[in-house]
Chain A
């Protein structure tokens, strides 16, 4: 009859058995096979999640209210691995999806995982606007300074001179400092952490998720295959213990000490933290229980006679 109905949809004929179900709803991970390279910094982040789920529950966020959004890149496989509500989005588009989910249901706790190419390159504008709106979501950036899934090109946080497959002579661009941008944009929680050092990372991620407003955690996450910076980071990172997170000026000074390259010391911890109204708050009090659509339509029409 029609072109579509004429299509042969008889298919493969036999069905493959369903994958094994996780060991109960309480399991932190799904059955998905982990395909990160040995030594990948993403394991450190995933491991934090295994305890973070229970910790969030202890802090009033039951796991069914958690939604994890991921972009596209090695980081994003976390969406498949986590036995949580997930939205495996597009490259660069974690933040708008996370924003939409939060606006759709402000009772959800929405955590976006993104890559540095993903979030600081393809989708930088979304991060700035999320900061500007102070939408109550958390953004965890797996910042490895390289496009790994596409096998090794420079990213917005790669240092000048980075020799990748698209810049064999060395990148001619300065890296951006995403934390400066986030503060400038209006983010109310800005932190940096490292994929090595589970306790520190766990605490920072927990603080970020529980923070009311937009939070960014730039996680120095090592790509063991295309940009192995373990020794570079191990030599330079330190935990801040003397900063004042309530001071924007102090935060910007500390953030500026390391410019995503060179020999500066790399401060870890929370640079900036403040309280402000959240964008999702605007949409919290909508009550549709008594809304009669037919009557509303008739009323709007009557006003136009």
Chain B
């Protein structure tokens, strides 16, 4: 377990818990810590129980620990549900105006002396404090204490609005954590610029109401941006040329819609929120026809409505990026919680057979990188590309360092060369493909004959065929036109027409029911599929972390990547995480499993959807650890779970 520090803020919906957590995360981030924020809230606007857990460490983290160092309670339920998770030297901060179940401990004289370091000078390993997820407090050089802050009274006295409760909490947290007032003031100046003086005043009172319990040292690491997965998806899409985002709000994908709308002006984006998800995807496909690089986002329920559009993208060969944010189902399920139960839905949605890219990022960094890849490949291959995320990634906030990522591949979009006539579904590589498939005797009816009959000079037709052949034999990701891909053009094109069709069609895009034409078009789409499979093999489609030579491997996908990496590091295991799930990166996966004797698959679903997918590709799994209550694995839970399996 990485040396880390965790603080939980809890209260009713409407208390601004999420924002309080984010402010604490930003503050810690400024001190050089890597942070992960998990937000837990029910599907309602007022009431209920909300909490936000901020975990900070020197290393990148992406999961929570059960063991907490500070709990900040705005209601009794927070005390009841979370206070027992505090370690021995933990601190429970209560809003004395709203928490009645406990009372603050008497403050000892001199406790507020800044030189008094009750917990030592730096982060302590949670593990040292017996953090196995149990409520034990057997050790501890200091006792868990309760501190009170009269938040409501402070706000009333200063005539500050209720929203400044968060600022007060932030002040309180800083004092407890031993963070200097200067750093706090700086953070408030940057992130709460409105009513600055009032906010500073409120923070000051929160700061002064408590006393120092920890001494969280500033780390010698650069401060990183903190961003949630939804925002990181948006950022990746924008980086890769996204010009339009269309969505209907649905948790947990709504954050992406909000993000894209908020940056629309700065990023020259067209952001549209239409009448329903059917309109969303059809509108986006219309945009793609006109040359706009559109993306859409939704959760499982909205994606149900989109499936006819997915199949249309396959048949009409229109590029589109679809972010599907998983939440527990069936049906409305648990709207604000997490799951990994829509893998096979996304892999199979839409009638008919056509290529699709499915990537499953497990952190904000991966969300950025793979969303950019999805946009690039959707356009290079003119088909649907999915970013399959889950609530934990979409709404979890992470420190993000895009410079630590491999350089983003630049994917060329094969464009029409202007040689008339334009055919939207041209198959210049029919003959080449026949050759690769083992029927070279058919070369005489190849591309050049076809192009010549359409009035093209033999020269340029030969060049096209040669370019295609080069692409097949080369490792360069963006060479020429990939097999099966017809060069794109967009209206208006004087003297030409651009026809797309949901029916089976000929090269121009006119409907056909001819059996030979049907076969050729089906094969064209399969050629794209094969080429896409080669394309993803050039990326790190399967991630291996932990001890890469260990005979026991933890296998996971999506948000479990972070917790599995940490457990693997702790227990000396290998961690294998496929990031691309379609086309399945068979070669890389085989390589990743080289020498593995025992494979344990960790998933957030009941039936083992990754296990099923692997069986389709000839891989078997030895053990499975599954959680399907809508919550992520905590570090301690998964550690215990893996140890039990290995016993």
**Using a CB–CB distance below 8 Å, which chain A residues touch chain B?**
1-5, 7-19, 21, 25, 30-32, 62, 64-65, 67, 69, 72, 77, 79-80, 83-90, 93, 96-105, 107-108, 125-126, 128-129, 283, 286-288, 291, 293-294, 296-297, 299-305
Contacts and interface: CB of A to CB of B under 8 A. Distances in A.
Given A11-B437, A16-B517, A304-B231, 4 more contacts: A2-B583, A85-B498, A105-B291, A299-B266
Nearest to B514: A16
Nearest to B433: A9
B439 A13 contact: yes
A90 B292 contact: no
Nearest to A17: B453
A129 B274 contact: yes
B499 A2 contact: no
B283 A86 contact: no
Nearest to B492: A64
Contacts of B502: 72, 88-90
B46 interface: no
B520 A88 contact: no
Nearest to A110: B286
A103 B526 contact: no
Q: Which 9 A-B pairs have the closest CB atoms?
A: A100-B286, A104-B290, A96-B282, A100-B283, A64-B492, A104-B287, A304-B225, A104-B292, A97-B286
A99 B294 CA distance: 13
A287 B533 contact: no
A88 B503 contact: yes
Max chain B CB contacts within 10 Å: which of A8, A14, A93?
A93
A100 to B, nearest CB: 2
23 contacts: A1-B587, A10-B438, A14-B445, A15-B445, A15-B450, A19-B508, A21-B421, A21-B454, A30-B508, A62-B492, A65-B492, A67-B290, A79-B501, A85-B497, A85-B498, A85-B499, A88-B501, A98-B286, A101-B286, A104-B270, A104-B292, A126-B279, A129-B274
Contacts of B241: 293
Given A65-B492, A129-B274, A296-B267, A88 B507 contact: no
B516 A10 contact: no
Contacts of B246: 100
Contacts of A288: 243, 268
A190 to B, nearest CB: 20
Nearest to A83: B497
A14 B270 CA distance: 45
B497 A84 contact: yes
A4 B455 CA distance: 35
Interface string B27-62: 001100000000000000000000000000000000
Contacts of A1: 586-587
Interface in B497-543: 497-503, 505-511, 514-517, 519-520, 523, 526-527, 529-530, 533
A300 B510 CA distance: 44
Contacts, number: 249
A126 to B, nearest CB: 6
B38 to A, nearest CB: 18
B282 A100 contact: yes
A62 B495 CA distance: 10
Contact of A86 (B244, B497, B587): B497
A222 B30 CA distance: 72
B239 interface: yes
B480 interface: no
Contact of B239 (A4, A32, A102, A294): A294
B395 to A, nearest CB: 15
A64 B491 contact: yes
Interface string B278-289: 110011111111
Nearest to A294: B239
Nearest to B421: A21
Given A12-B516, A87-B289, A96 B283 contact: yes
B282 A93 contact: yes
A206 B30 CA distance: 63
B286 A301 contact: no
Interface string B249-264: 0000000000000010
Contact of B511 (A80, A101, A297, A304): A80
B430 A64 contact: no
B186 to A, nearest CB: 11
A97 B309 CA distance: 10
B238 A293 contact: yes
A32 B491 contact: no
Contacts of B208: none
Contacts of A303: 225
B597 to A, nearest CB: 24
Contacts of B402: 297, 301
B496 interface: yes
Contacts of B235: 297, 300-301
Contacts of B529: 4
Contacts of B309: 90, 93
Contacts of B517: 16
B287 A103 contact: yes
A297 B561 CA distance: 25
Contacts of B73: none
B499 A305 contact: no
Contacts of B308: 90, 93
Interface string B439-463: 1001001000010011100000000
A3 B582 CA distance: 11
Contact of A4 (B275, B287, B526, B587): B526
A304 B316 CA distance: 39
Contacts of A12: 515-516, 519-520
B272 interface: yes
A97 B285 contact: yes
B491 A108 contact: yes
Contact of B492 (A2, A83, A108, A129): A108
Max chain B CB contacts within 10 Å: which of A5, A85, A107?
A85
Given A18-B454, A30-B508, A86-B499, A11 B282 contact: no
A11 B523 contact: yes
B112 to A, nearest CB: 31
Contact of A126 (B275, B498, B587): B275
Contacts of A65: 491-492
B279 A30 contact: no
B617 interface: yes
A301 B227 contact: yes
Nearest to B222: A305
A11 B309 CA distance: 27
A32 B511 CA distance: 8
Contact of B275 (A5, A77, A129): A129
B223 interface: yes
Nearest to B267: A296
Contacts of B29: 305
Max chain A CB contacts within 10 Å: which of B274, B275, B283, B287?
B283
A87 B492 contact: no
B494 interface: yes
A14 B434 CA distance: 10
B496 A25 contact: yes
Nearest to A72: B502
A62 B438 contact: no
B73 to A, nearest CB: 28
Contacts of B316: 87
B379 to A, nearest CB: 14
Given A2-B586, A4-B533, A19-B508, A296 B238 contact: yes
B348 interface: no
B18 to A, nearest CB: 15
A288 B292 CA distance: 12
B276 A90 contact: no
B238 A297 contact: yes
Nearest to B525: A9
A93 B284 CA distance: 12
